[in-house]
Structure 1
Amino acid sequence: MKPRLRPIQDQTVVLSGATSGIGLETAMLMAEKGARVIIVGRNQEGLDEAVTKVRSHAQMTMMERMQGGGNGDGFSGMAGSQSTMTSVETGGAPYTELEDKIVSMEADVTNFEQVKSVADQVVQRFGRIDTWVNLAAVSEWALFEDTSPDEFHRIIEVNLLGQAYGAMASLPYLKQQTGGGALIFVSSIAGRAPIPYQSAYNASKHGVLGLVETLRQEVKYTESPVSVTAILPASVNTPLFEKARTKIGVE
């Protein structure tokens, strides 16, 4: 059964691991289109910074559309609602609705109970989850023989189990609600074409693709209205590379 996804401006989108990089850019794009955006991460300071950036980006986009008379997004009706909203230095544009539509929730993706709590809170607050995106990832540059068991485990735990937990927490809601929903996994081209010095990362991304293919078969077999998608970015200059530990003598 194919999902009947709502227009982006009517969606509630959860982005797990989206305080920087591809996740943050995706949050900005979704907010720009008017979606309700929930940014999930394990560091409250990083979450606060990300939410501020996304709200500011959405506000600037909204102001440009209001000045140009544009409609068709989730903020179309806000121009006449100034009396219920505060203003900010960028020109007095409505901001309260952005505070309601763009929020953060703290959770460690390696802790299933915390991830499930996010899903429960989102549904309680917004009524549904339309799209859940798994983005959290860590990496390390090292020969396999120089990678400790703890280091290997940590990468698998975040990159593979973190995405599996996101699916476990969101799938029941996506399946049961009217119209279904979308479940998106950000894997990597390394899941198809592994690169040296990235054994744990490669393994985790291969695992994500295996999970995606399995879920696709299962939602088809059970006739569940859920789309399951894998995104395979190539090398992208994000903080993932800056934060990755290295044991190969170069930064």
Structure 2
Amino acid sequence: MNLDSKIAIVTGASSGIGAEFSRMLVKNGSEVYGLARSKDKLQELQKELGDAFHPVTMDVTEADKLEKWVDQTFGRKHQPDILINNAGIMRSANVEDLSLDEWHNMINVNLNGIFYLTRLIVPLMKANKNTCHIINIASIAGLLGNPTISGYNASKFGVRGFSEALFKELRYDAIKVTCVFPGSIDTELFSKIEGIENHPNMMKTTDISSTVKFLLETDDNYLINEITMRPLNPKNPNEKE
């Protein structure tokens, strides 16, 4: 895919890798609709990126509002080529200390939100004459379980299963589906896990966005449906052994 003049949707676009995806896409000529709950952060990003970035204040768990926005924004003459489902939250606690609200919020944002938006975008992509691409951002936590993040694990394992089924469902409609499994990234998300502090050996947001750029720019009949990314040395270099 040539990213120039493509129409992209990025969720969780106001910070972290979502903001970096938006920068990468705009830099390469795409028009980006960036969805997030933080209106202020989205507006700051628009000041940086210009008119090619459209800030959309939206909670991906609100299915009715998503449907209304999609209906008002896209149509036969304005179809999305790229969907990056990136919005995600993490709560860290032992299972007996994890509240029902925390569990439900992770499932709703990390898994249900992907379904709510994807089901609306797929028909538009099927009508698109171009090869399209859906990228679901999971996590290494979608492959390996770890103590204190059981809810996050459950939601990201779900993203992997959804992505695998979707890839097989849409491959003959010229719609690629890729599930991305990053390890530790230097963002706010990882700083919320008990016992983990951000450090220089974590991956950079630009590491992830450059990999997603490569995935998007592959030839139309070439698909990488899953990709795992890790720091080579994940240890904090500031810690004394």
| TM-score (normalizing by structure 1) | 0.73
| Counterpart residue type for residue 176 of structure 2 | S
Aligned length, in residue pairs = 197
Unaligned runs of 5+ residues in structure 2 are: 198-241
Q: Is the 8 A contact 1:139 1:240 kept in 2?
A: yes
Q: Which amino acid aligns with 1:173?
A: L
Deviation at 1:141, TM superposition (A): 1.4
Corresponding position of 1:225 = 174
2:161 maps to a residue whose letter is: G
Deviation at residue 140 of structure 1 after TM alignment: 1.1
Q: Is structure 2 residue 10 aligned with structure 1 residue 15?
A: yes
Q: Post-superposition shift, 1:106? A: 1.7
RMSD: 2.0
**What residue in structure 2 maps to residue 162 of structure 1?**
113
Distance 1:38 1:121 in 2: 13
CA drift at 1:15:
0.3
1:29 aligns with 2:24: yes
Equivalent-residue separation in structure 2 for 1:106 and 1:213 (angstroms): 29
The answer to whether structure 1 residue 196 and structure 2 residue 147 are counterparts is: yes
Question: Structure 1 residues 24, 52: CA separation in 2 closer, same or farther (over 3 Å shift)?
Answer: same
TM-score under structure 2 length normalisation: 0.76
Stretches of structure 1 that go unaligned for 5 or more consecutive residues are 56-97
Residue 134 of structure 1: how far off its partner (Å)? 0.4
Aligned equivalent of 1:76: none
What does residue range 12-91 of structure 1 map to in structure 2 within 5 Å? 12-53=7-48, 55=49
Compute the displacement of 1:168 (Å). 1.0
Map of 1:207-218 to 2, 5 A cutoff?
207-218=158-169
4+ aligned runs moved over 4 Å, structure 1: 248-251
Indicate the percent of aligned positions where both proteins have the same amino acid. 32
Partner of 2:156: 205
SS at match of 1:10: coil
- The separation in 2 between residues aligned to 1:152 and 1:177, in whole angstroms, is 37
Alpha-carbon spacing, 1:125–1:218, altered in 2? closer, same or farther (3 Å): closer
Q: Report what 2:184 is aligned to.
A: 235
* Bigger relative CO (Cα 8 Å, ≥ 6 apart): 1
Structure 2 counterpart SS, 1:218: helix
Q: Mark the structure with the bigger radius of gyration.
A: 1
Deviation at 1:190, TM superposition (A): 0.8
2:74 is paired with a residue of what secondary structure? Answer: helix
